[in-house]
Amino acid sequence: MAAVGPEPPRVGFVGAGRMAEAIAQGLVRAGKVDAQRVLASAPTDKNLCRFRVLGCQTTHSNQEVLQSCSLVIFATKPHVLPAVLEEVAPLVTAEHIIVSVAAGVPLSTLEELLPSGGGHGDGAGQPRWEQFRLNLLEACGQCEEVPEAYMDIHTGLSGSGVAFVCAFLEALADGAVKMGMPSGLAHRIAAQTLLGTAKMLLQRGQHPAQLRTDVCTPGGTTIYGLHAMEQGGLRAAAMSAVEAGPPPSQGRGGGGGPLP
């Protein structure tokens, strides 16, 4: 792949759903990539309209994305990805960096369906491209490099975890509503409580158990509340939810990342 000059490579999205939109927003709003240098493809205009609002280019042709972009992010639904890879495989060259965010699709599937010749995997593994890729993805949030075996676990913990946290937040607020607090106020306070707690844990590098202990006064209200949560099986329910999150039909390998 040619060296990055003053202008970064074009970034392409094959698939234009919520995940692709979130990544595109992060890249564009952080100034990592100019919106005009982002091209997204989807079969219909249903999702592409949101990319146009961002100022991105759109197309109905997956092949056009491969022909126009150096960094290509596959963001289709997992069961659709194999057919899409077969469609675009003839266009994949050593010039491409391939990234997949399709949950549960292992890298072995990408390697099987995309051409092994041309050394595109070698290029993605070079330090300068590794740093380039991380620099882009960090615009969307915290970026952690992990073994592929952790990717499906990450899906259950972080991807599905958004819904789990919202369910917990709603339950906290409902408890306050039951006690007489207006719903809107209860939800705002619950959200701020979760936000403040998360910030403290990240800033201090503490284990959650330590912060939990710090706010538990002997004989106080918090320990009584924790006892009630334990009686309700909160921990077991949360652990089971994360375990159920990964898509077992796709296997245990993760799909997020460049070809090795």
Residues at the annotated binding site for NADPH? 62
Letter for the amino acid at 101? V
Binding site: residue ranges? 62, 75-78
CB 51 within 8 A of CB 25: no
Give exposure, 209-234, as e/b (b: 16+ Cβ within 10 Å).
eeeeeeeeeeeeeeeeeeeeeeeeee
Retrieve residue 59's tokens.
Answer: 């197309």
Q: What is the β-pairing status of strands 71-74 and 11-14? A: parallel
Torsion angle in degrees (nearest 10) through CA of 209, 211, 216, 218 = 80
Report how far residue 100's alpha carbon sits from residue 78's, in angstroms, rounded to the nearest whole number.
Answer: 10
Binding site for NADP(+): residue ranges? 75-78
Q: Is 248 exposed, middle or buried (0-12, 13-18, 19+ CB in 10 A)?
A: exposed
